[in-house]
Amino acid sequence: MRVSVWWLVLVFQVATLAGRGAGEWPQFRGDPSLTGVSDARLPVSPEIAWTHDAGDPIESSAAVSGGRVFVGTAGGELHAVDLESGALAWRYEAEDAIGESSAAVSGGSVYIADLTGMLHAVSEADGTKRWTYQTDGEVKSSPVVVEDSVLVGSYDGYLYCISAGAGGVRWKQETDGPLHCTPGVLDGIAYVSGCDGMLRGIRVSDGEPVVTVDVGAYTGASPSLEGGRAVFGTFDNQVLAVGLKSGAVLWRYQAPERAAPFYSSAARFGGKVVVGGRDKRVHCLDAGTGKALWTHATRARVDSSPAIADGRVWVGSYDGRLYSLDLETGKPLWEFRTGGRISASPAVASGRVIVGSQDGLLYCFGAGSR
């Protein structure tokens, strides 16, 4: 009896998500492989559960852990907010604005970076500083915690591995350009898609490079890792899949209607890749072939990285709207308009969808009837 490869992938993804739990979204894209998937159940027509006024625009994507939401602001603050009520638990002041770097929560600490290039470790309980580490360039990459190490990229061109407990550098690996992306981690290898046009695999244990693939284009998107492949978009207007063992480019996709960069990071589930484009569309591709399955037009560019949960795609747009789309067909199911652009990516946990807007509000959607 033959079993579909994508069915095996689906079973593996469900098992991985079950291990993390539907109440957690502890880092950018939800997990170190950056798949952007949650097994949370969500209402058909979400309603606003609460909003939190952060006082400044929000480009940072939320993390959810331990019943709290953690998000950075352009005013240089990390906010911890109660998931149920939206009440502020504490705030921490960074050195400068927090851009797209998003919090990672692990072992009682919250890690986030600011635009001076400083990585901060903060107590999850009360927001007190534990340590800081200064890189030599601004940081928009989100930290990823692997066991007792924190990985983060910097515009100084290095991928850093920092001790989670003490804050000292374990190793740093140089690339040939700024590292905007968040590192994706799978089987002990950190993968970064860089502005030097390379996909690099670097061993977490010692910082040694294990694979380097020339993809031929500047990349700001983070690699989504699953099924032995890395999938990510480029500024050469393409989404591509790279075999992690072979280093071969397996397929390339280019939007048919309009050439535009892909800055959004892909979500992957059930043999599908979903990614936003600066052509104002959300694209759903077959993960095996790169063939387009559907597209959905928004009113402005889509830099927000989609989340997949409960058979639906959740994604923001520069038109200020958060969209819910049917994963199978792309049919629009629901949308909500905020007061500013949405460049942040939605987090999904405990039956809720949380996203920040450049209007300075953090929105939590949930209560509704199934």
Over 90: is that where the pLDDT of 28 sits? yes
Residue 172 in tokens:
């740093």
Q: Residue 353, CB half-sphere, CA atoms under 13 Å: how many? A: 31
Residues with Cβ < 8 Å from 147, sequence gap 6 or more?
Answer: 164
Confidence of residue 368 (pLDDT cuts 50, 70, 90): low
**Closest to 277 (Cα-Cα) out of 265, 288, 267:** 265
CB 122 within 8 A of CB 128: yes
Over 50: is that where the pLDDT of 146 sits? yes
CA 240 to centroid of chain Cα atoms? 17
Confidence of residue 196 (pLDDT cuts 50, 70, 90): very high
Higher pLDDT, 258 or 233: 233
Residue 333 in tokens:
């199911």
CB 285 within 8 A of CB 270: no
Q: What is the pLDDT of residue 256?
A: 84
Q: What is the mean pLDDT of residues 318-331?
A: 98
Over 70: is that where the pLDDT of 19 sits? no
Over 50: is that where the pLDDT of 246 sits? yes
Average pLDDT score over the chain:
94
Confidence of residue 259 (pLDDT cuts 50, 70, 90): confident
Q: What is the mean pLDDT of residues 250-275?
A: 95
Q: What percentage of the chain has pLDDT greater than the value 70?
A: 94
Any idea which residue has 């199911």 for tokens? 333
Render pLDDT for 35-87 as a digit per residue (tens, 0 to 9): 999 999 999 999 999 999 999 999 999 999 999 999 999 999 999 999 999 99
Q: What is the mean pLDDT of residues 81-100?
A: 98
Domain 5-365 has CATH 2.130.10.10: yes
Q: Is residue 333 exposed (0-12), middle (13-18) or buried (19+ Cβ within 10 Å)?
A: middle
Q: What is the mean pLDDT of residues 76-99?
A: 98
Q: What is the pLDDT of residue 305?
A: 98
Q: What is the pLDDT of residue 21?
A: 57
pTM of the predicted protein model? 0.94
Over 90: is that where the pLDDT of 6 sits? no
Out of 158-162, 177-181, 206-210, 252-256, pick the least confident. 252-256
288: left (phi over 0), alpha (psi -120 to 50) or beta: alpha
Q: What is the mean pLDDT of residues 336-345?
A: 98
CA–CA gap between residue 182 and residue 193 (Å, rounded): 9
Q: What is the mean pLDDT of residues 14-39?
A: 80
Residue 156 in tokens:
């100084």
Parse the chain into domains and list their residue ranges.
Answer: 5-365
Render pLDDT for 276-320 as a digit per residue (tens, 0 to 9): 999 999 999 999 999 999 999 999 999 999 999 999 999 999 999
CB 219 within 8 A of CB 235: yes
CB 311 within 8 A of CB 326: yes
